[in-house]
Structure 1
Amino acid sequence: MGNISGFFKNVVSEMRKVSWPKRKELTRYTIVVLATCIFMALFFTVVDAGISGLFRWFVAL
């Protein structure tokens, strides 16, 4: 049990050293991540539709 309590004391000690982002930074980072995810989803949707269209066109020949 001594190892577990020592582990959690070290975790608390390390968590105090962490530099947490401010609210404004966190909001900005969240918007960037969401915008990137949406852009990538749209991009891959368009690429998938294009490749599917090419395969359908090629098979129809």
Structure 2
Amino acid sequence: MKRSFKSLFSFFTESWSELKKVRWPSRKELKNYSLIVLGTIVVMALYFWVLDIGISALIETII
């Protein structure tokens, strides 16, 4: 039981030291990355919407 608390404490200590090494993005970088992700989502949604309409029209034509 005592060992598990020691290993748990060690885990959190090591995790905290690793988080200190992380280079966090600036506000401007975060904004740009977020816009890129949102733009990609919109483009993919439009692509699948058009694809869905096309496949639906094809099925309607066949049936």
The alignment's TM-score, normalised by the length of structure 2, stands at: 0.91
1:20 is paired with a residue whose SS is coil
- Note the residue ranges of structure 1 that are not aligned, 5 or more in a row: none
Structure 1 residue ranges (4+ consecutive) displaced by more than 3 angstroms after TM superposition: none
Residues 9-30 of structure 1, C-alpha deviations (whole Å, 9 max, x = no match): 0000000000100000000000
Q: Aligned residues, how many?
A: 59
* Unaligned residue ranges in structure 2 (runs of 5+): none
Which residues of 2 match residues 8-47 of structure 1 at below 5 A?
A: 8-47=12-51
Aligned AA (1:26)? L
Q: Distance in 2 between matches of 1:10 and 1:45?
A: 46
Percent of pairs identical after alignment? 44
Deviation at 1:32, TM superposition (A): 0.3
- Partner of 1:56, secondary structure, is helix
Q: CA RMSD in A?
A: 0.4
Residue 45 of structure 1: CA displacement? Answer: 0.4
TM, length-normalised to structure 1: 0.94
